[in-house]
Amino acid sequence: MHARRVLTAGAAALATCAVVATTAWGATGPELISVSSSGAELAPEVYDSRVDDDADRVVFVEPSKSQGEASHVYVRDRSSGKTTKIYTSKVGDGAVADISGSGTYVVIGSGGTLRVRNINTGSTQWLRGVAGASEPSISSNGRWVAFRGSLEEGGPVHAYRWNLATDAITKVSHKAGVRTAKISGDGRHVAYTVDGHAYQATASTGQWELLDQSPTGEPGNFSDVVLGGVSYDGHYVTFTSGATNLVDGSEECEQIEGGCVFRRDTAAGSTEVASIIDGKPSNALYISAISDDGNVVVFSDVQAFARDMSSGETVRVSENSLGAGADSGVDDIAVDADGSDVVFTSRAGNLGADGHKERIWLTSTGF
The pLDDT tens digits for 174-203 are 999 999 999 999 999 999 999 999 999 999
At 12 the pLDDT is 36
Q: Is the pLDDT of residue 298 over 70?
A: yes
- Please give the Cα distance from 354 to 313 (Å, whole number): 31
Q: Is the pLDDT of residue 23 over 80?
A: no
Q: Is the pLDDT of residue 3 over 70?
A: no
Instruction: With CA atoms as reference, report the closest residue to 92 among 65, 67, 62.
Output: 67
Opening angle at CA 41, ends 40 and 42, nearest 5 = 115
Q: Is the pLDDT of residue 98 over 70?
A: yes
- Give the start-to-end residue ranges of the domains of the chain: 1-32+222-367
At 68 the pLDDT is 75
Name 12's Cβ contacts closer than 8 Å, sequence gap at least 6: none
Note the pTM of the prediction, 2 decimals. Answer: 0.91
Q: Is the pLDDT of residue 9 over 60?
A: no
Using only the alpha carbons of the chain, give its radius of gyration: 20
Instruction: With CA atoms as reference, report the closest residue to 228 among 176, 319, 296, 171.
Output: 296
To the question of domain 1-32+222-367 being in CATH 1.10.3470, the answer is: no
At 185 the pLDDT is 98
Tell me the three state secondary structure of residue 290. Answer: strand
DSSP category for residue 103: S
- Please give the Cα distance from 32 to 22 (Å, whole number): 26
At 302 the pLDDT is 86
Burial of 134 (0-12, 13-18, 19+ CB in 10 A): buried
The confidence band for 21, taking pLDDT boundaries of 50, 70 and 90, is: very low
Average pLDDT, the chain: 90
- Please give the Cα distance from 167 to 186 (Å, whole number): 17
- CA end-to-end distance (rounded Å), the chain: 17
218-239 in b/e burial notation, b at 16+ Cβ within 10 A?
A: ebbebeebbbbbbbbbbbbbbb
The pLDDT tens digits for 42-62 are 977 888 899 999 999 999 999
355-366 in b/e burial notation, b at 16+ Cβ within 10 A?
A: eebbbbbbbbbb
The pLDDT tens digits for 248-273 are 877 778 766 778 999 999 999 999 99
